[in-house]
Amino acid sequence: MSDSYFGFDTTMPPLNSDQLTAGTAEITEDELSKNFEEFALESGQDFGCDQGFDPLADQLVETGDDYNEETFGNDITNIGDDFDFTQSNAKIADTIQKEEKLYVDRRKSAPSDNNELLRQRPLFSNLWDDQSGGISVNGNGSYPNDPTNDPKTSPLMPESPISPSIWGSYHPPSTRKESLPRHHHETNLHHPSYENPPTYPPSQISPLPPGFGPPGPPPTARVPTLEEIEKQLQRQAGQSLTKRMLSLAEVEAALLGLNGRPPPLPIYGQTEGAYREQEAAFLEQEAAIREQEVMYYERERKRREKQRKLADMAKYNGLMTQNDKDYINRIQISQLVTDDPYSDDFYYQIYTAIRNRPAQPQMGTFSPHASGGGAMGHERRHRNRGSESGMLKVQQQVLRIVNDVRRKPKSTQLSLEGALGKIALNSVRNPRQLLQVSTKHTDTHQNHASPSGGSHQKVPSISSHGVVDHRKVLRSIENIYWAVLRLEELKRNQEREAKDKWQEKYTELVNKMWEELLVTEPIGVSFPHPFISILSVSKGKKVIPRVLRHCNKDQFTTLITMLVANFEALDVCKTAIGGSNGNIKQSILDEVELFMNTVVPPLLQFVAEAPLKIVNGLLTLFIERNNIIWVAKSKVGLAFLTMFLSRAEILKQGGGYMQGLPLPEEREIMQWQETYNRLFNQLQTYFLLSFPPFMSNIDDMYVWQFLAAMAVGASMEQQHILVTEVRERVLETVVQASRIPQDKATHKITNVNLFLHALGLDASQLKI
Amino acid sequence: MTEETTPVVEPNAVEEPLDLVRLSLDERIYVKLRGDRELRGKLHAYDGHLNMILGDVEETITVVEINEETEEEVIRTIKNTAEMLFVRGDGVILVSPPSRTGV
């Protein structure tokens, strides 16, 4: 702020053009400043002005430049004269003047340039002429050696018509420089308070960020001058200059910014209130710093305390040897070691199996056969090589402990010599028992399991009216579960035991399970058949898929035969047939669902691989042993019929060839046809009864599937009968489908099409 | 043992009290607990301490409140339901298998 802005122009020419263009300066403005530079450079007289100015500035009493040295890095008084080209320039002043002449001549030869210059120069020459006249009061601005003080006296200039204006415009820098010091004096007079601003406690000055530095001399004092200039400029240049003037102010701002000083404009409007705001901000900052300090001390205190404690405890260091630690570890881990994770930690095992996570060889269930932990351990070792040795060590230790424990079986009792009683040893597997439950019954079950026990013993007691004791059925189911669980366990541990011994155990268990299923009980002794009773309990249904996994083909056949033979006694057939209103209790519907999901799939799979002979036999038995019209009203019954019919059809068409079955013999096909005709004749006129009530929400897809299966095997005549019977239902469904939402309608149509496609028709062909 | 000595006699389905609980597996049972609490739920698992895992449980707590002014006893029941419950055996007073109707 202490420098005039044209002073800047002359002393720092190279920086200008960039800065100016970077700002919002317009092209003309750019040119203008360039011209200024050029003029400044072109003549040594300009620098002469500088010489005259320098001592002036030194006399100034300036405030706010206390930090100039810091900012600019050197003492202003010792700047040196590297930059001071004027002295040398003065020596070559003649040469420069010649150059000037050359330059002017060149200008003349470039008319376009000249025009531009001509347009602009007069404005400035006038301006500066006026100013210099007014300002010369100061007296200090006189330059005795300056020949350009009076342009007209210059010996070189008169030749050129432009030169007066050049010199005119060239004047300003010097005059400006004269004027500025005066402004600064004014400034200081107007604002004496800034000499030592009371709002600034000295302590706060140091942490001030650069932007908040002590305010320079307020520019307010200078504004009038600028305004004057503006006015004059405007006066002379008219409207075209208004824009330029604004830009000039900006130029100055940019220049000041260049100097590393805060631009005056922001500070311009600052009042004491603003300073107070700053002060408040500083107080805040200070508070924050203090807070941080407090936190730091707190942390430090805690750290020291921790260290003190650690040091306190250090006297116990080394009290336990590694052996002691191992011993403690062994005591802890040995409690968790188990040979049989599936019974001791069943839920974890199942959970991990369900989650499809590889069972980790974790301590709790350190199963011996998994203790090879190979893949897992390897993987883990790969993951963090850093702790590789540590992991290995732990693994080895655990392995050793496990082996130790396995070598000496856990004793649950300890009898000391001479003591009268026994001391029970409690462990995590053998907690102190409050209730002693005899384990006798498991023994008895195992005795039962022996095939030699004779099956007559296990015939469920039949009360006088021939109803099987329900509790015996339940017990059979429990025994089946017991056997199944043992079988599954055996399968899991298959590779751990000798093959023949394992096979022996396995067969024994399968036999036991098979007996408990009560499938082979003679038909007719009790009603319902014990096997059917088992199937009538939901947990009995649930166990079937697990049972059938261990059954051989013969057992399968026997089982399905027994099921088919007593089909109508099944709860899912017997009770699941809706009355005229089709209301079936939800609990029964759940049972049907369960039966369809558990019992049917393995049987379906079996039938899907059966030869025609067996299918034929099963269907015959089905028809003979059951009231087929009745059975066909149940969902499960229809599912079975569909199963047989579609399998037979596949076999008839040679589908069994793919499964390695021989093509059905002619006789078998004949037999099948007979059976089919029997079925058809029985069901004739009753087909519609298979449907659930029309308006009910039950999905009747299974009925359409059955009808489709019937239709495929039917003769032309039979097909005709079939269509006649169910025509009504087909039409109703199609009509209904046209009135309900798209997705449901599509489903309905698809269902109908199941049947219609079997006849070579399609629902879209129907005319409603 | 009884089977071996008297092989002709059919074994009973229920030989000891806990057999009754065993046969009630996967069935809805009724459990009475200390603290005027009752549970109805499907028995998933049990052990010799009568610790039990129950599913779809309805808990009924009976609370007797005495009205301070009239000194009348007001009996209130609170019902809770739980999807799965572990019942600790030491609180069990009785376990009742589901009542059977018909077959």
Tell me whether residues A459 and B16 touch, CB distance under 8 A. no
Residue A187 has φ and ψ, to the nearest 5°, of -50, -50
Q: What domain range is A399 assigned to?
A: 322-424
Query: Which residues on A lie below 8 Å from B48 (Cβ)?
Result: 433, 435, 437
Residue A59 lies in a domain: yes
Do the beta carbons of residue A241 and residue A232 sit within 8 Å?
A: no
* Chain A contact present for B2, CB below 8 A: yes
- Residue B15's closest chain A neighbor by CA? A441
Smallest CA–CA separation between B76 and chain A, in Å? 31
Mean local confidence (pLDDT), A69-94: 63
**Whether A261 and A344 share a structural domain:** no
pLDDT at B8 > cutoff 70: no
Banded pLDDT at A94 (limits 50, 70, 90): confident
**Torsion angle of the four alpha carbons A224, A229, A235, A241, in this order, in degrees rounded to the nearest 10:** -120
Query: Which residues on A lie below 8 Å from B7 (Cβ)?
Result: 457
Do the beta carbons of residue A247 and residue A23 sit within 8 Å?
A: yes
pLDDT at B73 > cutoff 60: yes
Percent of chain A with pLDDT over 90: 11
Name which residue leads in pLDDT, A295 or A686: A295
Model confidence over A203-235: pLDDT tens digits? 444 444 444 444 444 444 445 566 666 666 666
Residue A510 lies in a domain: no
User: A535 to each of A151, A540, A545, how far by Cα in Å?
Assistant: 127, 5, 12
* Of residues B11, B16, B2, B23, the one with CA closest to residue A473: B23
pLDDT at A277 > cutoff 90: no
**Whether A17 and A80 share a structural domain:** yes
Among the candidates A268, A284, A311, a domain finishes at: A311
Q: Which ranges constitute the DSSP H helices of A549-665?
A: 553-565, 571-574, 586-598, 600-607, 612-625, 628-631, 635-652
Query: Which residues on A lie below 8 Å from B10 (Cβ)?
Result: 457, 459, 461
Residue A574 lies in a domain: no
Nearest-angstrom CA–CA distance, A437 and A119: 120
Nearest-angstrom CA–CA distance, A100 and A42: 6
Model confidence over A522-552: pLDDT tens digits? 777 777 888 988 998 889 999 999 999 998 8
**Whether A332 and A229 share a structural domain:** no
* Of residues B65, B59, B66, the one with CA closest to residue B37: B59
Nearest-angstrom CA–CA distance, B70 and B87: 37
Full DSSP string of A426-458 = P-SSSPPPSS----HHHHHHHHHHSGGG-GGGG
pLDDT at A561 > cutoff 70: yes
Do the beta carbons of residue A203 and residue A76 sit within 8 Å?
A: no
Among the candidates A424, A440, A463, a domain finishes at: A424
Smallest CA–CA separation between B39 and chain A, in Å? 21
Nearest-angstrom CA–CA distance, B101 and B103: 6
Of B16, B49, B100, the CB nearest to A470: B100
Most distant CA atoms of chain A, gap in Å? 153
* Chain B contact present for A546, CB below 8 A: no
Of B1, B7, B49, the CB nearest to A434: B49
Smallest CA–CA separation between A454 and chain B, in Å? 10
* Chain A contact present for B1, CB below 8 A: yes
Pairing of strands B92-96, B37-46: unpaired
Query: Which residues on B lie below 8 Å from A538 (Cβ)?
Result: 26
Query: Which residues on A lie below 8 Å from B2 (Cβ)?
Result: 444
Banded pLDDT at A271 (limits 50, 70, 90): low
Among the candidates A281, A311, A341, a domain finishes at: A311
Smallest CA–CA separation between A591 and chain B, in Å? 13
Whether omega before A264 lies within 30 degrees of 0, making that bond cis, reads no
Residue B12: the pLDDT is 67
**Whether A340 and A260 share a structural domain:** no
Of A447, A470, A533, the CB nearest to B3: A447
For chain A, give the mean pLDDT: 70
**Whether A181 and A271 share a structural domain:** yes
Lowest mean pLDDT, pick from A71-85, A188-202, A301-315, B35-49? A188-202
Nearest-angstrom CA–CA distance, A619 and A670: 14
Full DSSP string of A371-425 = TT-HHHHHHHHHH-GGGHHHHHHHHHHHHHHHHHHHHSPPPSEE--TT-SS-EEP
Residue B5: the pLDDT is 38
**Whether A125 and A165 share a structural domain:** yes
**Whether A339 and A268 share a structural domain:** no
Nearest-angstrom CA–CA distance, A618 and A564: 7
Tell me whether residues B11 and A470 touch, CB distance under 8 A. no
Residue A687 lies in a domain: no
Full DSSP string of A109-172 = H-HHHHHHHHHHHHHHHHHHHHHHHHHGGGSTT--TT-GGGSGGG-SSGGG-SSHHHHHHHHSH
Smallest CA–CA separation between B103 and chain A, in Å? 7
- Residue B12's closest chain A neighbor by CA? A472
Query: Which residues on B lie below 8 Å from A481 (Cβ)?
Result: 25
Residue A378: the pLDDT is 44
Q: Which residue has the tokens 């009808």?
A: A707
Residue A374: the pLDDT is 40
Highest mean pLDDT among A163-172, A361-370, A418-427, A707-716: A707-716
Residue A51 lies in a domain: yes
Residue A398: the pLDDT is 73
Size (chain B), residues: 103
**Whether A117 and A266 share a structural domain:** yes
* Chain B contact present for A448, CB below 8 A: yes
Nearest-angstrom CA–CA distance, A527 and A533: 9
Of A433, A438, A471, the CB nearest to B23: A471
Highest mean pLDDT among A260-274, A333-347, A455-469, A510-524: A510-524
Around Cβ B45, how many Cβ atoms within 10 Å?
14
**Whether A304 and A344 share a structural domain:** no
Model confidence over A401-421: pLDDT tens digits? 767 766 665 566 666 777 777
Query: Which residues on B lie below 8 Å from A528 (Cβ)?
Result: 103
Nearest-angstrom CA–CA distance, A443 and A420: 29
Smallest CA–CA separation between A467 and chain B, in Å? 7
Query: Which residues on A lie below 8 Å from B18 (Cβ)?
Result: 437
Mean local confidence (pLDDT), B23-42: 92
For residue A3, the SS3 value is coil
What's the total number of domains in chain A? 2
Residue A239 has φ and ψ, to the nearest 5°, of -60, -35
Smallest CA–CA separation between B66 and chain A, in Å? 37
Residue A117 lies in a domain: yes
For chain B, give the mean pLDDT: 82
Residue A52: the pLDDT is 45
Residue B102: the pLDDT is 35
**Whether A297 and A327 share a structural domain:** no
Lowest mean pLDDT, pick from A335-344, A602-611, B8-17? B8-17
Tell me whether residues A448 and B3 touch, CB distance under 8 A. yes
Residue A481: the pLDDT is 92
State which amino acid sits at residue A476: S
Residue A119: the pLDDT is 52
Could you tell me how many CB contacts below 8 A there are between chain A and chain B?
A: 60
Banded pLDDT at A301 (limits 50, 70, 90): very high
- The pair of three-digit structure tokens given for residue A169, joined into one six-digit string: 């415009």
Give the angle subtended at the CA of A346 by the CAs of A343 and A347, to the nearest 5°.
Answer: 160
Smallest CA–CA separation between B98 and chain A, in Å? 12
Residue A711 lies in a domain: no
* Of residues A692, A693, A766, A696, the one with CA closest to residue A735: A766
**Whether A62 and A144 share a structural domain:** yes
For the whole model, what pTM was predicted?
0.52
Do the beta carbons of residue A233 and residue A218 sit within 8 Å?
A: no
Nearest-angstrom CA–CA distance, A352 and A359: 6
This model of the complex carries an ipTM of 0.80
**Whether A272 and A408 share a structural domain:** no
Estimate to the nearest angstrom the gap between the alpha carbon of A508 and the chain centroid.
53
Judging by beta carbons within 10 Å of its beta carbon (0-12, 13-18, 19+), is residue A317 exposed, middle or buried?
A: exposed
Residue A461: the pLDDT is 45
Residue B75 has φ and ψ, to the nearest 5°, of -100, 125
Residue A151: the pLDDT is 46
Name which residue leads in pLDDT, A721 or A18: A721
* Chain A contact present for B84, CB below 8 A: no
Q: Interhelix angle for A538-548 vs A470-492, to 10°? A: 30
Lowest mean pLDDT, pick from A583-587, A669-673, B69-73? A583-587
Model confidence over A719-756: pLDDT tens digits? 888 888 888 888 888 888 888 888 888 888 888 888 88
Name which residue leads in pLDDT, A85 or A167: A85
Query: Which residues on A lie below 8 Å from B42 (Cβ)?
Result: none
Tell me whether residues B13 and A474 touch, CB distance under 8 A. yes
Model confidence over A655-685: pLDDT tens digits? 777 777 777 788 888 889 999 999 999 888 8
Tell me whether residues A538 and B15 touch, CB distance under 8 A. no
Nearest-angstrom CA–CA distance, A193 and A196: 6
Residue A568 lies in a domain: no
